[in-house]
Amino acid sequence: MKNLIYICLAVLFGFMACQPPEVGYLSDDIHALEDTIFVPRGVFTKSAPPAIEGSTYPLHWEITGITDGQGNFTDALFEEHEILTWKEGFNPDTDTTLALVEEKLELTNQPSILINSVSGEFAFTQATRMVTDNDIYHLNVKASNMRGERQLDDFVVAKLGPFQPVEFPVEMRSRLQLGKVDGGYDIGYTSTIVNGDDEDVPSVLDGTHPYINITKISDEPSLGIKVRMVITDSYDNPLDPEKVVFYPSGAGYLQNYHDNSIETTTDAEATYFELPAPPFPQYGRTYSGNNSYLMYYLTSGDAFTVDQEAFEADNGVQDWTPYTDPDTGEIMNRAYIRWGIKINDSGTWEIKMRIPYTKVK
């Protein structure tokens, strides 16, 4: 009897050894890394990729349904609208004519939501600007691989916010610098807008901020964008645009709006930049991420004089000797101009920066 048992066990183990091992793994704990994706309407936005918790690649992702805040199924994000999109990034080194840039643009009908079938990332297109019925959408998805599939209902929430014609992704500065007799510069005064949460942003957009204004002055061009950059003294007198110069960096320059324009022109008061489609700026030569929106300029030393009377009225009596040119008797100075905006809307915009405590010569 005992021998029979041993024989049966040997047969059983031999049979089990002949079975192919299980291949692949599909976790029960696949989840989004963010509970809610905040989507500004009309602005291309991507989500973070989901956490797959060791599941075997390759995975395939698809959206299986969307419900609104009341739990009703909706196709609002799947409906297609005509939008102008960049097929690839603008490059000023190669995109030297309007025709070359227009080859990178495409006017097509697109839905408001896309999903990367490989990575599981969501993308929200500029078509979200036309979605007006609801703000809250619950996204249902399915993930599958060689092992099977997982239906993931209410995987993540997409919350659509108002269209932001202008974003403030990084700190900008309007700064007076005082040239030192023994070399270098000291900071005379700086006005900053830190980011989009800065309490002074509304005054920047409605034209009431004392040093920085971003205002739309025309709806034309309807698809493209034109930007008028004006740098003024404290009293709103424009500086000569020829005295607003690039910020040197080694053998080149820090990134600037000239690198983001097909046709750049000047008149007595302003410099004009043009692109056939927003957002503006498109290109960051030096930095990446939010810092790609930093754009730098300086002024030449003869662009303005320091308004010493106004400065001392606000800051007390000063010793100007360390900054006084011994040959001319004038305060040595320059403006440090650092923009940090992203314009998402078409039309003509004016970006104006006043330099603190200055007078045009």
pLDDT along the chain (361 residues), means of 10: 51 52 87 96 96 97 97 97 94 95 96 98 97 96 97 98 97 98 97 98 98 98 97 98 96 96 97 97 95 98 97 97 95 98 98 98 83
Torsion sign across C-alpha atoms 84, 88, 90, 94: negative
Q: Tell me: cis bond preceding 248? Omega within 30 of 0 counts.
A: no
Q: Count the Cβ atoms, other than its own, within 10 Å of residue 235.
A: 11
Q: Count the Cβ atoms, other than its own, within 10 Å of residue 27.
A: 15
Q: Rounded CA gap, 27 and 266, in Å?
A: 60
- Looking at residue 2, its pLDDT comes to 52
- Looking at residue 193, its pLDDT comes to 98
94 Cβ contact partners less than 8 Å away, ≥ 6 residues apart: 100
Q: Whole-prediction pTM value?
A: 0.87
Chain centre to alpha carbon of residue 105: 19
- The two tokens of residue 215 are 């205002």
Distances (CA, A) of 286 to 17, 193, 201, 248, 252: 60, 21, 26, 12, 10
* Burial of 163 from C-beta contacts in 10 A (0-12 / 13-18 / 19+): middle
Q: Rounded CA gap, 186 and 179, in Å?
A: 7
- Looking at residue 85, its pLDDT comes to 93
- Looking at residue 310, its pLDDT comes to 97
* Burial of 2 from C-beta contacts in 10 A (0-12 / 13-18 / 19+): exposed
